[in-house]
Amino acid sequence: MSQKMKLDMNCGLSILNVNQHNENIAKLNPLMRASGEIKCIDGVVYTRFHLADKAIDDSRKTESTKLDLEKLCGEIVKTYQRKTLKTSKKKASSAKIADKKRYIKNSPGKAQWHYHFQKLLTFRQQFKHCLVPCVYKDDPSLARWVKRQRYHYYLYMNGKATPMKQERIEMLEDIGFIWHAQEALWEERLNELLQFKKKHGHCSVPTKFPQNQPFATWVKLQRRQCKLYRQGQPSYMSEARMAVLNKIGLI
């Protein structure tokens, strides 16, 4: 075989000189060429042994390419997952912020206000008025809520920060709610006087009345205030109140 052919006996490969491959191919046994023992690929002459080795190399390259592709796909998937997770976290964070804003907008205070307002309606339906006693054992929370409404009304009328709104004021006034605490207390005691008269048939409340001593003290005070008013002396009694008390028989 030509001297220009390089023979590697260890690995069984024969690669012909690239520059002389046409001349060498012509000199090689025609039977080898015909049988496929040699081939020229990309300007290089390969023997059958080298072709087999090249096929292995190609297989390895394909496998390596496959592994590289899988690695690349894995990186793409990981990147996508990271971006997706980041986006999900942003959406979750945005959702939490939205929920927080929605919570502030529709705060529990709004629901509680309407809850107590409904209880006040029930009280009014039962007693025919909205004069919830300051100390109301049947529902202390309602008594506290009524007191707060009067306080917030005072803040609202003086232009101060308060959850009181015109809509709420109108709702309360529509059912006969009395804003001023002193006026509300007077109306409350007057109602107790009417209940006393209904039960006993008169307005002669004893000075000492263990069942409701504050009420008995109020009755005594009304008589004194009426006397002062008639005498032209300072008094919180008014003509309208005197007319009411006179009508029910207290004075």
Separation of alpha carbons 184 and 135, rounded Å: 13
pLDDT given for residue 62 in this prediction: 54
Separation of alpha carbons 216 and 208, rounded Å: 7
pLDDT in tens, the chain (251 residues): 444 444 333 343 334 444 444 454 444 444 444 455 455 544 444 444 444 444 445 555 555 555 555 565 556 555 555 655 555 555 545 544 454 444 434 556 789 999 999 999 999 999 888 989 888 999 999 999 999 999 999 999 999 999 999 999 999 999 999 998 888 889 889 999 999 999 999 999 999 999 999 999 999 999 999 999 999 999 989 999 999 999 999 98
pLDDT given for residue 233 in this prediction: 92
pLDDT given for residue 108 in this prediction: 65
pLDDT given for residue 182 in this prediction: 85
